[in-house]
C-alpha cells in the first residue's frame, strides 16, 4: 500500500465524515456518567450513527470486532469491547468513534473522567491531550512523521509517562487503516515528509507506568502489562497547502 493524496472533492467528504464523528462524541458526552454500562454507550452510539446520521459504524464487524465503538476503561489501552462493565466514580474511559459516510472514514476519540478521579489520572488525561495537540500544531507540508512522533514522546516522557509502541496512528480515507503508519515516538527530522492532501490520524496512547502492553484472550482488548492507567486522544487530520485542518473538530 502507498500513501494516498486526496483531491479537494475527497477532502470535502472526509470533512463530512469527520464532523459526524465529532457529533457522535458530543452526543454521547452527557451519557458518560456513573451507573451506565459500556454496552449501553455502544447501543446509544450505534442507533445515533445509523438512524440519525445515516452513517456506518466502522468498527462493527471490522476484522471480527463485535461492537460499534471502542470503550477503554482505566488500564485498558485501546480496543476495549463494550459490555456489562458499569462505570463508577474514579474511572477514566476512552471512547473511540469511527464512522463511514459516503465511503469515507472519520476517526476520533476522547477521554472522559467519571465523577471524581485521582489527580494522577487527571494529569495523565491532560498530558495525553497535550501530546495530541502538540503533534497537530506541527502538521504542515515539509514536516516529517518523525517530528510528530518525537514531539509526542518528548512531552509524554518529560512528564514521567510512557508511550505505547505497538499501536499507532494511520492514514485514513476510503480505507479505515491505510498508509502511512503514524508512530507516537521517533526522531526529529526522520521519516516521511508530509504533503498537501494527506489525511491521517494521530492517536497517542500514553501510560502512567511502563510502556509494555498485553493482548487479552478476547484478541481485542489491549491492557498495560503493569496495570497502570492509560489514556488516548485521537483526531483525523488533513494536510493543507499551508498547514492542516482538523477534520474531526
Ligand atoms: N478506531 C480505532 C483506531 O483509532 C480502531 C478500532 S478497530 C476496532 O484506529 F476494530 F477495534 F474497532
Ligand atoms: Co484511528
Ligand atoms: Co479511533
Q: How far is the CA of 89 from the centre of ligand 2 (A)?
A: 27
Determine the residue of 79, 97, 166 to mutate for testing ligand 1's pocket, defined as the one with the most ligand atoms within 8 A of the Cβ atom.
79
User: Does the beta carbon of 178 sit less than 6 angstroms from any atom of ligand 1?
Assistant: no
Q: How far is the CA of 232 from the centre of ligand 3 (A)?
A: 9
What pLDDT does residue 22 have? 99
Q: Whose CA is nearest to atom 3 of ligand 1?
A: 107
Do the beta carbons of residue 150 and residue 187 sit within 8 Å?
A: yes
Say what the pTM is. Answer: 0.98
What pLDDT does residue 1 have? 73
What pLDDT does residue 16 have? 99
Q: How far is the CA of 73 from the centre of ligand 2 (A)?
A: 17
Domain ranges of the chain: 8-242
Averaged pLDDT, groups of 10, the chain, 249 residues long:
95 98 99 99 99 99 98 99 99 99 99 98 99 98 98 99 98 98 98 98 99 98 99 99 98
User: Does the beta carbon of 96 sit less than 6 angstroms from any atom of ligand 1?
Assistant: yes
Q: How far is the CA of 120 from the centre of ligand 3 (A)?
A: 24
What pLDDT does residue 228 have? 99
Domain 8-242 has CATH 3.90.1150.10: no
Among the bound ligands, name the one nearest to the CA of residue 78: 1
Amino acid at each position: 500500500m502507498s500513501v494516498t493524496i486526496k483531491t479537494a472533492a475527497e477532502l470535502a467528504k472526509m470533512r463530512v465524515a469527520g464532523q459526524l464523528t465529532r457529533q457522535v462524541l458530543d452526543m454521547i458526552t452527557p451519557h458518560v456518567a456513573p451507573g451506565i454500562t459500556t454496552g449501553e454507550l455502544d447501543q446509544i452510539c450505534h442507533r445515533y450513527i445509523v438512524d440519525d446520521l445515516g452513517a456506518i459504524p466502522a468498527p462493527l464487524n471490522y476484522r471480527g470486532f463485535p461492537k460499534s465503538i471502542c470503550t477503554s476503561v482505566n488500564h485498558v489501552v485501546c480496543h476495549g469491547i463494550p459490555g456489562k462493565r458499569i462505570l463508577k466514580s474514579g474511572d477514566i474511559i476512552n471512547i473511540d468513534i469511527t464512522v463511514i459516510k459516503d465511503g469515507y472514514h472519520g476517526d476520533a476519540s476522547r477521554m472522559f473522567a467519571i465523577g471524581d478521579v485521582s489527580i494522577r489520572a487527571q494529569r495523565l488525561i491532560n498530558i495525553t491531550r497535550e501530546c495530541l495537540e502538540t503533534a497537530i500544531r506541527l502538521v504542515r507540508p515539509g514536516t516529517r512523521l518523525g517530528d510528530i512522533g518525537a514531539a509526542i514522546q518528548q512531552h509524554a516522557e518529560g512528564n514521567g509517562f510512557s508511550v505505547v509502541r505497538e499501536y499507532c496512528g494511520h492514514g485514513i480515507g476510503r480505507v479505515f487503516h491505510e498508509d502511512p503508519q503514524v508512530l507516537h515516538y521517533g526522531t526529529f527530522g526522520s521519516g516521511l515528509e508530509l504533503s498537501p492532501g494527506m489525511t491521517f490520524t494521530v492517536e497517542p496512547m500514553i501510560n502512567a507506568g511502563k510502556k509494555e502492553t498485553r493482548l487479552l484472550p478476547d484478541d481485542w482488548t489491549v491492557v498495560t502489562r503493569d496495570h497502570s492507567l492509560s489514556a488516548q486522544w485521537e483526531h483525523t487530520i488533513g494536510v493543507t497547502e499551508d498547514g492542516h485542518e482538523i477534520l474531526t473538530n
